[in-house]
């Protein structure tokens, strides 16, 4: 469910400017929403324990049952472990267990609101369901917690283009002779043809220990 947000916006602005002069182009069917954020972190990534690094590799190999066994073993000893919970949400997403994944990421957000990754992955799920406003809000929250989160910027740019496409479609449904909206819609859909980034997100960083009272 391409470059970061800044370049995506720059491209979109340039395309919209060109639309004022260009003739209408044939619309292309949009690809699925951005999915890069659901990629499991690579093994040996700093911050992952050996057990979770093995689980991440198993996820990348599609060995979800074995990955869950390692994740659950970590959670049995540390039920609040944010990295293990994050990886479990990734497994649930990859297996199509969308409701369970939403619960996992929302639970992480409640316990660790300072972490951007759960917002981002939750946004990917909502974007896949066509809930672009909810995805937009989640990505904006992710960027409030970490402004340099490149994948969230990219995904937010994708969500903005989806929202733009919806509005151009609406304009055309009200006025089928609107050549400007036709051209802009075609240009926005050209952006959809750019594959999402394949860069895996960084693992969820452990929350700092709270001082005992």
Residue 205 within any structural domain of the chain: no
- 67-92 pLDDT, tens digit per residue, is 999 999 999 999 999 999 999 999 99
- 129-177 pLDDT, tens digit per residue, is 989 999 999 999 999 999 999 999 999 988 988 888 877 878 878 888 8
Residue 200 within any structural domain of the chain: no
- 79-128 pLDDT, tens digit per residue, is 999 999 999 999 999 999 999 999 999 999 999 999 999 999 999 999 98
Taking each helix axis as running N to C, give the angle between helix 5-19 and helix 150-174, from 0 to 180 degrees, rounded to the nearest 10.
Answer: 30
Q: Are 104 and 88 in contact (CB under 8 A)?
A: yes
Residue 117 within any structural domain of the chain: yes
Residue 176 within any structural domain of the chain: yes
Count of structural domains within the chain: 1
Residue 63 within any structural domain of the chain: yes
- For residue 163, what pLDDT is reported? 86
Distance CA 118, CA 177 (A): 43
Residue 207 within any structural domain of the chain: no
User: Which domain, by its residues, includes 142?
Assistant: 5-192
- 3-59 pLDDT, tens digit per residue, is 343 333 333 333 333 333 232 322 222 223 333 444 444 434 446 788 999 999 999
Within its chain, how far is the Cα of 4 from the centroid? 12
Distance CA 144, CA 164 (A): 23
CATH code of the domain covering residue 163: 1.25.40.10
Verdict on whether the full-model pTM lies above 0.95: no
Residue 61 within any structural domain of the chain: yes
Distance CA 206, CA 49 (A): 11
Alpha helices in the chain (DSSP H): 5-19, 50-60, 64-77, 82-94, 98-111, 117-128, 132-145, 150-174, 179-192
Residue 144 within any structural domain of the chain: yes
């Amino acid at each position: 469910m391409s470059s970061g947000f800044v370049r995506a916006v720059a491209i979109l602005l340039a395309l919209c400017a060109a639309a004022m002069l260009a003739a209408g182009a044939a619309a292309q069917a949009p690809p699925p929403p951005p999915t890069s954020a659901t990629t499991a972190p690579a093994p040996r990534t700093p911050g992952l324990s050996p057990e979770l690094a093995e689980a991440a590799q198993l996820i990348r190999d599609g060995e979800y049952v074995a990955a869950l066994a390692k994740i659950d073993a970590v959670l049995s000893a540390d039920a609040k472990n944010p990295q293990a919970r994050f990886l479990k949400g990734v497994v649930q997403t990859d297996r199509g267990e969308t409701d369970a994944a939403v619960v996992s990421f929302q639970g992480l957000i409640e316990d660790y609101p300072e972490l951007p990754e759960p917002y981002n992955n939750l946004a990917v799920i909502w974007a896949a369901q066509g809930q672009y406003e909810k995805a937009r809000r989640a990505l904006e929250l992710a960027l409030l917690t970490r402004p340099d989160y490149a994948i969230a910027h990219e995904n937010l740019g994708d969500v903005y283009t989806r929202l733009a496409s919806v509005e151009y479609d609406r304009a055309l449904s009200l006025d089928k002779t609107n050549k400007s909206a036709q051209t802009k819609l075609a240009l926005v859909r050209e952006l959809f043809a750019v594959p999402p980034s394949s860069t895996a997100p960084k693992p969820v960083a452990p929350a700092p220990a709270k001082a005992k009272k």
